[in-house]
Amino acid sequence: MTLQHMYAVLLVGGSVLLASITGARVAHGAGLPSLLFFLAVGLILGEDGIGLDFDDARVAQAVGTGALALILIEGGMSTSWASMRRLLAPAGVLATAGVAVSTVVTAAGVHLLLGLEWRLALLLGAIVSSTDAAATFAVLRALPLPARLRGLLEAESGLNDAPTIILVLLFSGTGAFPGPGRVAGSLFFQLGAGVALGLATGFLAVLALRRIALPATGLYPLASVGFGVVAFAAAGLAGASGIISAYVCGVVLGNARLPHRAASRSFAEGTGWLGQIGLFVMLGLLVDPGQLPEAVVAGVVAGLVLLLVARPVSVLACLPWFRVPLREQLFLSWAGLRGAVPIVLATFPIVSGVEGALDLLHVVFVLVVVFTLVQGPSLPAAARLLGVTQPDQAREVQVEAAPLERLGAELLTLTVPPGSRLHGVEISELRLPAPSVVSLIVRDGESLVPTPTTTLAEGDEVLIVTTEAAREATERRLRAVGRRGRLAHWLGEHGDPDPDGPAP
């Protein structure tokens, strides 16, 4: 590849990334999962669009599995163990027995209605049996749902990918069709070993990151995601489930008291988004739009069997033992959106050479797109109809950059370095320009809301809310006090950003 080719590749890649990010913002405003826009970008770039040729299912499988690992590492790091542990039993049953029931019922339905032979029918049932957390919560985050219901959906979505992948790999194998004993044994080993390796890697990561002082703050997020990747790869090499190992490792890291935990979570979120964008764009490229019309009927039929029969049967069979109210079970049945995993899994039988597997890819693609468009916008209405919302419950607050931009506000952070004249200065003595305010101080890992008499100390991480108009004056005042102390103005120090300005 020449240098000019590299520039062209980077230009296209950067443009696709920015277009996908813009699509994610539009999807958020429309209440739809971002995956639809990412898939559309891939279709536009493909043979029937701009003309980019990509039809290597083996590459798609490898890249897609790696992207799923990044997505699940981020999912684990953002999962609250305190909330999840109370729901581990029902979520675990839904993620294992529920997946099995959904697979069998869907397979029986498409076998009878579409005439698919049993191997393809079971493959299709297993491929679409996994729910997707990102797709579901993209449209649920604005609903005041009970914590138990929201947590159950999230926990199930994080845990059910691994059993689904195991089933698809078993059904994609050549030779004799696997019996129930072989399926159960493989599930038990891969899940058990995957959980064990994820826990071991996660606790090793916590021990290392607590004891080893890294030379730069930015290395802690890299190390956290790196340990998650190690857990994924180690489990895969051991013949266990790398997906569940990566997720469990992420849960351990996300719930441990580690240095720069917030920065690590933000970095993991960014890598998760990058994985989603790359994954869906690539899958959009892999699909042949010319074959999609032929798959519409099969995709719609399979989706109806899954949505109206298989998913409700699996939920109603698994959750009564845990005293989940019927109306919540019905909502869980409707809220099982599909996303990245089914389309990635559809590449597995193609790589294994299963006859008819390429047709399954297009059926799964149609199913995911059509039923995301149908289910996504209907979830708020379904929640209200079933009475699972709590109108008196405060809605979840999303702290993002966008609301600050709309308010013309900015969030500034600074760390009081050793030797700084900020040490010993009270908040009131900073005399920040209005309307700037010190909102939070993080000291020795503990957060505190300052009062006017709170004294700053070396090592404090200080968060300041200001406006665009007052930002420069605020920064100048902080620099001035840092150089000459509380009497900086009287000593002729005005916070000039030029390092050659007035000496402290």
Average pLDDT by stretches of 10, the chain with 504 residues: 77 80 70 70 73 74 82 82 80 88 92 89 89 63 72 79 82 68 77 90 90 80 91 89 88 85 82 81 77 86 90 90 87 80 82 82 85 78 81 45 54 84 87 86 86 88 86 86 81 64 40
Confidence at residue 39, expressed as pLDDT on a 0 to 100 scale: 75
Confidence at residue 502, expressed as pLDDT on a 0 to 100 scale: 40
Confidence at residue 396, expressed as pLDDT on a 0 to 100 scale: 44
| Residue tagged 């120090």 (tokens) | 493
What is the rounded distance in angstroms from the CA atom of residue 315 to the CA atom of residue 308? 12
Burial of 142 (0-12, 13-18, 19+ CB in 10 A): exposed
Provide the residue ranges of all domains of the chain, joining segments of one domain with +.
55-386, 403-484
Helix, strand, coil percentages (3-state) for the chain, rounded to 5, are: 65, 5, 30
**DSSP class of residue 462?**
E
CA-CA-CA-CA dihedral for 147, 150, 156, 158, to nearest 10 = -100
Question: Going by C-beta distance under 8 Å and a sequence separation of 6 or more, which residues neighbour residue 225?
Answer: 70, 73, 264, 267, 268, 271
The domain made up of 403-484 has a fold known as Alpha-Beta Plaits (3.30.70)
pTM over 0.85: no
Confidence at residue 445, expressed as pLDDT on a 0 to 100 scale: 78
Vertex 344: Cα angle to 139 and 284 (nearest 5) = 75
Q: Are 429 and 467 in contact (CB under 8 A)?
A: no
314 φ/ψ sector (left φ>0, alpha ψ -120 to 50, else beta):
alpha
What would the CATH number be for the domain defined by 55-386? 1.20.1530.20
